[in-house]
Amino acid sequence: MALKPEFSVMGGLAVAAIVFSVHSQATPSQSDIQALPAGTPDIDDAERKATILSAGVVSAVSLIAKDPTIFVIGAGMTIAMALWTRRSNWMESIGGKFLTQPEAAAAGTDSTGPAMASTEAYVPFQNDFAR
């Protein structure tokens, strides 16, 4: 027994809002993802977990409501959020290009990420002015 069309669409939009909030809480913001080196494995893991959780929520709500419209809207939002996060993660922020296969294999390493800066040892309570 499906819901009435107006309730079905409202339920689908509510599930889409839940999917958006799951992805917003489970992954960093899009600007933070784009600022990281392309292909960061932690972002991939977080995106996959958020997508699986979102798919579970969409499936559960649509099965409880017995309404395919809720499933279609929720699944569309889940796919859109997953693609948006993946695109932000695999796009090189400097040149705006996708990584090739060899670049993707080396993503997040010294060859694609910034070089480590050498630092001096920290000495607590060191005062250069009292000498």
The DSSP call for residue 112 is: T
Over the stretch 24-71, which tens digit does the pLDDT of each residue have?
999 999 888 888 888 888 999 999 999 999 999 999 999 999 999 999
CA distance 128 to 47: 48
Q: For residue 96, what pLDDT is reported?
A: 59
Average pLDDT in the chain: 83
Q: For residue 95, what pLDDT is reported?
A: 62
CA distance 76 to 110: 37
pLDDT at residue 123 tops 80: no
Q: Which residue in the block uniquely carries the two structure tokens 């390493």? A: 109
Over the stretch 79-95, which tens digit does the pLDDT of each residue have?
999 999 999 898 876 66
66 Rama sector, left if φ>0, alpha if ψ -120 to 50, beta otherwise: left
Question: In Å, what is the CA distance from 88 to each residue of 36, 45, 55, 98?
Answer: 10, 14, 21, 10
Q: CA 49, 87, 28: angle at the middle one, nearest 5?
A: 50
